[in-house]
Amino acid sequence: MDDVQRLLAYEEIRRLVAGYALALDSRDLDTLCGLFVPDVRVTRELSGRAAMRESFVAQLAPLGVTILNVGTHVIDLLDADHATGHVYCKAEIQEGPRWLHQAILYRDVYERRDGAWYFARRRHDLWYGANVGANPAGLPPANWPERSYGSGTVPAIWETWREFRDASRPGS
């Protein structure tokens, strides 16, 4: 790979990782699953994007708001179509009445197929998960810019998030 091809690969992989965070937080499962290779292995028995979608639904259904903030991202290009990466992520997660902070390390394997980069594998490793004293999901509306504290409009501004939340509620 020449220098321009390498830089382009780095940028496309960084966008893939950032797109994962946005798609997960907005519960845009079509976009989220489309970031993985079509034949992604989900379990020993299951593979493919449909199985990946079912896995995400099961993982996300018990959660409310999630906020993934990706930071350090080290990419190792193996060749023009294969790379690995380590991604640091700080997460805020609403789990029932609790509000959690997590420090996550994603260990990724990336593949380029038909000119686009995808996740071939994404391993989620946890440094820690800790309860936060106050759950911000129960705060009154901030009505920004009137007040800088309180609940805001995100994630409810995303139609995909509202649809997922409504479908995940008991009795839906």
Summarised one tens digit per residue, pLDDT across range 123-140 is 999 999 999 877 887 788
Q: In the CATH hierarchy, which top-level class contains the domain 3-168?
A: alpha beta
Tokens 């705060």 map to which residue?
139
**What are the residue ranges spanned by the domains of the chain?**
3-168
Report how far residue 84's alpha carbon sits from residue 13's, in angstroms, rounded to the nearest whole number.
10
Residue 172 predicted with pLDDT over 70: no
The Cα 93–Cα 91 span in angstroms is 6
pLDDT tens digit string along 29-87?
999 999 999 999 999 999 999 999 999 999 999 999 999 999 999 999 999 999 999 99
pLDDT at 170 over 90: no
